[in-house]
Amino acid sequence: MKILVIADEKTALAFALAGIKTCVVKSGLEVPSILEELSRKEVSLVLITELLAEESRETIAHALFDPDRPLILEIPGMSGMRRQRAKFQDRALSLLGR
């Protein structure tokens, strides 16, 4: 399984030391272009920090339902968890617009 981590510099460094491919970004505005270029053939799993995911929520929501895109999982950054997570059911329904 090929993994890509999209994160700030410090978080990316921690994963890079473990031998995982990383992409360092400074803001969530860079995330959509990175996700657009990825396909499931290149990367199976994308780990992205919660802060960056929050800044590019719409792009991630669309990518989650695209079968040709990798699975996206939000992870805490170096500062820890940012918020209380919603239940999966509530989140899935909100993405479906119900």
Total number of domains constituting the chain: 1
- Which H or E element spans position 74? strand 71-75
pTM: 0.78
Q: Would you state the pLDDT for residue 77?
A: 80
Contact 68, 42 (CB under 8 A): no
CB atoms inside a 10 Å sphere around CB 58: 8
CATH number at 88 reads 3.40.50.10580
The predicted-structure confidence for 56-91, as pLDDT tens digits, reads as follows: 888 888 888 888 889 999 998 876 666 665 666 676
The predicted-structure confidence for 7-65, as pLDDT tens digits, reads as follows: 999 999 999 999 999 999 998 899 999 988 887 778 999 999 999 998 888 888 888 88
Domain housing 39:
3-96
